[in-house]
Structure 1
Amino acid sequence: MSAQIATQILIPRWIIPVLPRQTVYTDHALVIKNERIIALTPKADALAAYPQAQLIHLPDHALMPGLINLHAHSAMTLLRGFADDLPLMRWLQEHIWPAEGAHVSDEFVFDGTRLAIAEMIAGGTTCCNDMYFHHSAVARAALDTHFRMTVGCSILEFPTPYASNADDYIGKALKSRDEFLGENLIQFTLAPHAPYTVSNHTFERIITLADQLDLGIHCHIHETADEIASSLKEFGVRPLERLAALGLLDSPLVAAHMVHTTDAEIALLAKKGMHIAHNPASNLKLASGLARVHDQLKAGINVGIGTDGAASNNKLDMWAELRLAALLAKGQSGNPEAIPAWQALEMATLNGALALGLQDQIGSLEVGKQADLCAVDLSASGTQPCYDPVSHLVYAVDRTQVSDVWIAGRHVYRQHEHQSLNLAEIHSITRHWQAKIQTV
């Protein structure tokens, strides 16, 4: 059971709740009791109703939902900058997979995930949809730092030091999931790596298990043109058509990337209620292509935003991603009205929550929801003057302007200082890993 937290009244200059859409409140306060938001009301009413509450004044700040990173490989922060400027398959086969084979362990994943969480919290991210190995280590790192994590349990056909085959990956995934049942901040998904690393039989088993255990599925799909060409050669169809025939699109599925989509595929994704995790920086860095995000959103597909791993980005900066998502959509579509600022902010918050099945808990500032929030100081020269705080949050803000973060009501980042982790210790451990990895 979570420890009791004093009732807090947060008094910012602006409150941006995300829902109702395109709404900005001034002269309002947000009240938190324990894990939840209990009031969003005019400031005078909040002060009168809760006279004993702790007051937190945020005079130049926009208060908004915490950002939701819809696709990441958190532990790969320890491989940040290890291999750059390469196409996806060379990057994986010649550098990342060999390095992982030599170093990835329970300790590596725990330490790398804590480093990722330190970076994400300081940038206003309060929830991450992860995909990696050593699933229990990911969950422990999140609980250790009081961070909300969806733990994606990677599943492949080939052996790694973590598991020998698909059955072994699945068995370890289910064991880890059972270990953390009932934890408020933790949920699990099955994460088949990609169509080119997972067989039809394994996909069918994952679909059955997801249905039986009410689990989501998280998978890289249509990331590169080569992936599609290889599928056409091996299976005679594009990956999405193959997965649709297997029934994967009838499951709660977060498809990471979806860079290459035809009109027919966009219509199918919309019909099936699919969720897409758009990763603009990683797609650009690996030259994977430009996703048709504006068309996907227009079709009614729920599109959230992710950073991908720090080894291919090279940072877990959701502010950079949402700005890039908005700008790329305008350039790719030729429409300056594509993804306006309010919609980009929605993609980075509520859309991510919807994709994870957490829309009733997080993603907007509504009474009854978990108090996952961040405060952004707009007093800096780069965000002055401020005619529209939503515009600044998307087009002008730097992540260093995040001053305060709450997760499930706990003030985990206060006036630019971490409260739930020891940053010096994490950095010291990171230097240990760097020395170990670069000597191989």
Structure 2
Amino acid sequence: MNTPQPVDLLIAPQWIVPVVPRGLVLQEHALIIDAGHILDILPLADVRQRYLPRQSHHLPSQAVMPGLINLHTHAAMSLMRGLADDIALMPWLKEHIWPAEHAFVSEAFVNDGTLLACAEMIRGGTTCFADMYFYPMATASAVKQAGMRASLGLVVIDFPTGYAADADDYINKGLAARDALSGISTLSTIFAPHAPYTVGDRTFEKLLTFSGQLDLGIHVHLHETQAEITESVAQYGIRPLQRLANLGLLGPGLIAAHGVHLTQTEIELLAEHGCHIAHCPTSNLKLASGIAPVADLLTHAVNVGLGTDGAASNNRLDMFGEMRMAALLAKGASGNAEVLQAWRALEMATLNAAQALGLDGVIGSLEIGKAADLIAVDLSDVETQPCFDVVSHLVYAAGRSEVTHVWVEGRCLLSEGQLTTLDRREVLEKAKLWQKRLQAKSM
């Protein structure tokens, strides 16, 4: 008789939703975690003979699924949640957000704002996020403290801020951050030129060169508003996407945040080059930017992931909310109830987003060998009963309040709804201090 193998962790829920293979839901199965990775997924009846776990979680009313991935956000902007609401994008930026950033954004602001965002995201089942903001090293510090996974955007803009003096300064500071963070398994980096209306051709060309040399992707706001497109035509004679295409930036390393206003030809261009869209339905609605043509993007096999955008424009970092919103909005906009089914919305918030970040070999699904980034969702209460279809419930019925456990690389960040790596009281105290400073400035 074989001796059972010692392992770190056994997780035995009512359901396992691995995402791959598509549509599969396992019952009476367990996940075996060791050294931060998924070692096995097997029938619960077989566990005792094969494994000796040091720790076990029996979750009789939970569904365990991959951790959610927020494909586009500005984590530190959580400190500006509700600062300026019910305003269109450009007035929101120029009259409220950019002045506040000029006055307050610093390493301390970014660290504290990111800690607030991480606390919210962990409690909502998000294990990884793609960020785009200043001071990436401060963001990294907060992410490491929280224990999350992140793709850190190396922001580049053509005008000066407190963070950098010019485009070259942004690039140099970004490259220094990339070097400093290399080798940390939970952190990756990506170039993050803000948008075509804040970045010139010369800067884009430099980023393209560095991107090719260093194998770094590019994460950029693109076709978020009609005004952005109108201004591009007036200044450059072409729409922003065509401008990026002419510069050679389109490819499988490009994540286009928003992609609201796209023609059929532009969708075909994105598909041809293997680009990705970070769909942010709630932020787009709140800023009245429009509704992205998700049905057409999916028809053309463009990879679409989900993001929240920043809490300053959403005002929630709630990926369960984004899944539901994306599915409902696509149906309403297309007139086709089958266009974005629950399983597809779940893929957009997990595997599709991982693919966009080049991390689909590591996260995004529960498969043997992948990192143990996973969450447990309780489906036993009145809001989620009866349960005929687990995947449907995860998208349409459950919410972030049902998340009970979160693990990243097998490390528990949330246990029975309680944060384990962050001090909730300390995070709240820091947020209140920044609120007082921001309010005092605006008075």
- TM-score above 0.5: yes
Q: How does 1:98-247 map to 2 (within 5 A)?
A: 98-247=99-248
Question: 1:241 is matched by which residue type in structure 2?
Answer: Q
Residue number in structure 2 paired with 1:405: 406
Q: Is there any run of 5+ residues in structure 2 with no aligned partner, and where?
A: 1-5
Q: How does 1:17-416 map to 2 (within 5 A)?
A: 17-250=18-251, 252-416=253-417
Residue number in structure 2 paired with 1:13: 14
Distance 1:411 1:235 in 2: 50
Distance 2:15 2:251 in 1: 40
Do the aligned residues in 2 keep the contact of 1:274 with 1:301 (CA within 8 Å)?
A: yes
Distance 2:54 2:347 in 1: 30
Q: For residues 160-187 of structure 1, what are the alpha-carbon distances to aligned partners after superposition, in whole Å with 9 as ceiling and x for unaligned?
A: 1111110111111001111111001111
Distance 1:88 1:6 in 2: 50
Question: 1:436 is matched by which residue type in structure 2?
Answer: R
Taking a change above 3 Å as real, the CA distance of residues 71 and 52 of structure 1, as seen in their structure-2 partners, is closer
Q: Secondary structure of 1:63's partner?
A: strand
What is the Cα deviation at residue 47 of structure 1? 2.7
Taking a change above 3 Å as real, the CA distance of residues 251 and 337 of structure 1, as seen in their structure-2 partners, is closer
Do the aligned residues in 2 keep the contact of 1:217 with 1:251 (CA within 8 Å)?
A: no
Do the aligned residues in 2 keep the contact of 1:40 with 1:367 (CA within 8 Å)?
A: yes
Q: For residues 6-32 of structure 1, what are the alpha-carbon distances to aligned partners after superposition, in whole Å with 9 as ceiling and x for unaligned?
A: 611111000000000011001111110
What is the Cα deviation at residue 51 of structure 1? 2.8
What is the Cα deviation at residue 126 of structure 1? 0.2
**Normalising to structure 1: TM-score of the pair?**
0.98
Q: For residues 190-227 of structure 1, what are the alpha-carbon distances to aligned partners after superposition, in whole Å with 9 as ceiling and x for unaligned?
A: 10000000000100000110110111110000000000
Do the aligned residues in 2 keep the contact of 1:274 with 1:302 (CA within 8 Å)?
A: yes
Distance 2:299 2:361 in 1: 24
Do the aligned residues in 2 keep the contact of 1:154 with 1:193 (CA within 8 Å)?
A: yes
Do the aligned residues in 1 keep the contact of 2:279 with 2:304 (CA within 8 Å)?
A: yes
Question: 1:116 is matched by which residue type in structure 2?
Answer: A
Q: Secondary structure of 1:254's partner?
A: strand
What is the Cα deviation at residue 53 of structure 1? 3.6
Taking a change above 3 Å as real, the CA distance of residues 318 and 52 of structure 1, as seen in their structure-2 partners, is closer
Taking a change above 3 Å as real, the CA distance of residues 171 and 10 of structure 1, as seen in their structure-2 partners, is same
Q: For residues 55-101 of structure 1, what are the alpha-carbon distances to aligned partners after superposition, in whole Å with 9 as ceiling and x for unaligned?
A: 21110000000000000000000000000000100000000000000
What is the Cα deviation at residue 136 of structure 1? 0.5
Distance 2:52 2:19 in 1: 28
Taking a change above 3 Å as real, the CA distance of residues 45 and 84 of structure 1, as seen in their structure-2 partners, is same
Distance 2:49 2:303 in 1: 40
Runs of 4+ more than 3 Å apart: none
Do the aligned residues in 2 keep the contact of 1:257 with 1:276 (CA within 8 Å)?
A: yes
Distance 1:113 1:126 in 2: 14
Distance 2:140 2:218 in 1: 17
Q: Secondary structure of 1:311's partner?
A: coil
Distance 2:349 2:95 in 1: 33
Q: Secondary structure of 1:287's partner?
A: coil
Distance 2:395 2:28 in 1: 22
Distance 2:137 2:90 in 1: 28
Larger CA deviation: 234-243 vs 250-259: 250-259
Q: Secondary structure of 1:365's partner?
A: coil
Do the aligned residues in 2 keep the contact of 1:210 with 1:251 (CA within 8 Å)?
A: no
Q: Secondary structure of 1:297's partner?
A: helix
Question: 1:283 is matched by which residue type in structure 2?
Answer: N
Q: For residues 394-418 of structure 1, what are the alpha-carbon distances to aligned partners after superposition, in whole Å with 9 as ceiling and x for unaligned?
A: 0011211000000011011100011
Q: Is there any run of 5+ residues in structure 1 with no aligned partner, and where?
A: none
Do the aligned residues in 1 keep the contact of 2:68 with 2:126 (CA within 8 Å)?
A: yes
Do the aligned residues in 1 keep the contact of 2:7 with 2:53 (CA within 8 Å)?
A: no
Q: For residues 242-266 of structure 1, what are the alpha-carbon distances to aligned partners after superposition, in whole Å with 9 as ceiling and x for unaligned?
A: 1000001036111000001111111
Q: Provide the aligned length of Structure 1 versus Structure 2.
A: 436
Distance 1:274 1:25 in 2: 33
Question: 2:193 is matched by which residue type in structure 1?
Answer: P
Q: Secondary structure of 1:310's partner?
A: coil
Q: Secondary structure of 1:276's partner?
A: strand
**Normalising to structure 2: TM-score of the pair?**
0.97
Q: Secondary structure of 2:312's partner?
A: helix
Q: Secondary structure of 1:109's partner?
A: helix
